[in-house]
Structure 1
Amino acid sequence: MEIGKFFHSNYVMGTENMEILKVVIADDEVRICQLIQALIDWDSLGMKVVGIAHNGEDACEMVQQTQPDILITDIRMPGCSGLELVKRVKELDSALEVIIISGYAHFEYAQQAISYGVGHYLLKPVNKGELTATLQKLQKKIGERKESELNHQELVNKAKRDDDHLRANLIDRLLDQPDMPVSQDTLTSIYHLKARQGVYQAFCVKVDYGRKIISGGRMDGTTGMAGEREISSTSSEVLMEKVREALERNLKNDSRELILLIRDDYCYGILNYPESEKESIRRSMKSSLTQMEIQKNMFQHVSFSMAVGAAYKEAERLADSMQEARKLIQERLVKGDGRVLDCMGKASEIQESELLKKYLREITHAVEISSIQNAAEAVEDLQDTVNKAKEIRGSEIFELVYAAADIFAASIRIPERTATVEEFRKQCDKCGKIEEIFSCLGDFQQKYIQEQAERYENDTIRPVRKAKEYIQNHFSDPLTLEEVSEMVGLSTAYFSALFKKTEGEGFAKYLINVRMEQAKLLLRESNLPVTEICRKVGYNDPKHFTHTFEKAAGVKPSTYRKLYG
């Protein structure tokens, strides 16, 4: 049997909140052992006799097996004397308390016992009061020692927690304050890193849970809903801890310093290692990711990706490495999950500004008429363009979707727009695939357009909404106030007043603005003659159309085409 430390934290709390102390009795006389066991009220002392031996060899083995706090032994026994027993067990555990009991009041025995660390020497016949008092002293001594050890361990643990907190704070600051100055001196003196010459490198692991996507339209014109797959906070914590364990298991031995921080579905890390270990570190990263993938057997639909910033010799470049890792992790959208991402894809040739202009026109119209279907089509146009791109970065896709959400939020006048869009960004950050992030945008639009439509349905401005929708679909016809009033079921006078109150402008001016905006669009994006555009936007008289357009746009139609076409 391997002999380890005897001292263990085997706490058994009694009614008086005392730890039960274990006692072994050793004497070659059975009667003496029985007497000692019977003399003492062990329960009241918070003690328990866990073993009795009648020779030194058995006693030594029993001490190893039961790991007692106190040994009571005769000084002379056959085979192995009490003194020899004390010597052997004290060598194994110096904290073991020993009471020597003997019929021999010889100074040399007492002196030798003291030299082995025995502080209590009793003569036979054993006196109950004297033994009880000795045991009480030992109980107090052991209690104070264990409390001191606990306090010391708590101080050690607190120091470690403080160091861990400092190191986690370093990653927090590198993430939130990318311009924060860093040097090898600050890493060692402030953050207590054991950083030495070599390279510094940051990385991050992203866990994605996927989204449920139902494609296609419904009979009511709405699109299918998507949603984040449900996973409890406890399951998420367990999974992220598995990520941490895999990283520590694979990277700790190859690096001088490894710091990890879990933030939401990310695990960020910092490494410092000799430059010669670069390839070994990369292999360890791949191995970590492979071990994480095993979790897919327990957590359905989960995926893992790792991004690695560049390795720099200068500690001052650590923030750069962290920002590179943050941007690279977005490449999982186009390169797929289960990879170690360390190379940025090529920038696309997509004209984001033109894409967003088109989206703005489409989403403005969708919001205007509260059409979930039209809004969904605007998202589909964006996604189709992205899918057809030969080269595009994951970060470009994220930024395109964020910008589109901001435009939509402004168009539909969402209260607390900044906070709402920021929450949308957090939802997008959970997406690991292109179709998921666009479904997230579709859900975002649908939620607020549906809320707007419900407000309109229950509002006095419902007739105005219906009128605007009718105008948007029939502006090329010779519309009149009377015709539209009749369509919404109101008198001309009441409808006219209601329209102006709701929109801030009269029916006629609103109709002109709709027609002029459509005329601008046709002038910019088609080669149709001005006379044909005139008819398409509801005018039969080209001169009247030109005059109206010039008043609205500041230039004639032909000039507008030259400037913006």
Structure 2
Amino acid sequence: MYKVLVVDDEPAIRQGLLKIVDWGTLGFCVVGDVSNGRKAVDLHQELSPELIVIDIRMPRMDGLQAIREIRKTDGDCQFLILSGYADFAYAKQAIAMNVSGYVLKPIDVEELREELLRIRAKLDQLSGRAKLSEFHADALREELILKLIAADPADAQELESELVTLTSFAGRSKQILLVEAEGNSHAGPAYLESVKKKWLDAAEKENLGYGFQTGPYIGFLLKEDLNGPDTKSEWDRLLQDSCGPQLGFTAAAGRIVNELADIRQSYEGALALLKNRFLLAEGQIHIVTEPDLRQYATEPNNHAPPNLEALATKLLYMLDLGRREGVAETLDEAGRALAAYDSSETAIKSGLTKVLSVALSKLSALHQSVNIQDYAPLLAELNQHTHYDRVMSAAHSQLAELAGRLGVNGSLPVVKQVMDFIQRHYYENLKLETMAEMYNYNKGYFGRIFKQHTGDSFHTFLDKVRIQQASRLLKEGHKVYEVSELVGYPNVGYFHSKFKKYVGASPSSIKGAPPKAETYSLETS
């Protein structure tokens, strides 16, 4: 295919040209688009395009100046001028520089298409390629593949009969592989295009598949499906070897079909996977039949929204207890719940950010060593990653370190760890089953060992801690209803009964009173 560079200072026109023209069908591949003549000269030196579609009036260097510069080193490059100015003076200068065509704005799509076809014929003639040359066979095959994946079933048989003469795997199973290139901040459009070309050239050289370009994806009609011996590993190597340090990729393959007429089904399966690219691991080929991906390759389902507050609380508890494994499990649980409800990148990132923000904010209130601002870079990083596995890996890494730092009591008996935890979280809605789950214990078993160690049931111990804190707050002058809320009893009447049970007097009777000996103890045997 012939390389094309689009040059116009109006972004809307550049983007419009990329969309209104089916470049691949016409035998062209757009390798870049820039906003002025100076950039066009520089990119021409780097990419050597066969055609430059260029505007006249642009900042820094106009189109005619750019053409003069390029003509100093390249006499074969074709130029198609776009201009909103029907000025014969421009046309005369363009003719003098051997420009191939001149199209006025606003652009007539059919006129532009005819100009491009005429220029392609000229390029074919210049390169000495006959009509049935290898280039034309490749271009025609690519055109037929693109038509077939977009065709109505009624037209598929006719297109298949044309395509089968240009392929060499009659009788074999067929499969479509789509690859999306993903560059980092240092990889510009030219670098991305060079890598895409390497993929296409390598696939052709190694006889692995027929390449085509569709939207942002490079596609391949595979000569051997990915279930074949070593086929998947060959494709993994081919894609990875061409990337380099500045580029990654996500690849998806549709289901295997037996007829060329059915490759649209394989294409649509691969495309559906890539629409959920965020959930796919980078640098791997994903196949639509993989069971772990099915739930993410479907339309949004009817799952209930995840309880982000509950997940944040659970994460807080795991961090406070220094439970690294529990932190990882809770993060995974949050990720699965978010993806099951809404698998979009925005929804998952937003949900995870909220869970982490709430948990870390509450944790910083409990531990002076935890500064919420120290984790602002982590929250920012989560939103920069373009793949779910990278997001989770970053969260796992930093929160595991935090849990390890806070888990200084990790060598203490489990019951002692829980007792200390209650002292920090007595005002929350703590439950025996929640604490048992934290340590992967059965609720009944955990309740028994807790009582054996403390002499009290879990809930009695919790009540005693709360009443001890309530007495302190009452003596500091807080109102009874305030204290009730502060120690975890939303119902004031219930608080009264609990307080009288353990202290032997009503809360109001000791409010503001001087300290006196307590009538209960939290000492354990």
Q: TM-score scaled by structure 2?
A: 0.35
Q: TM-score scaled by structure 1?
A: 0.33
Larger Rg: 1
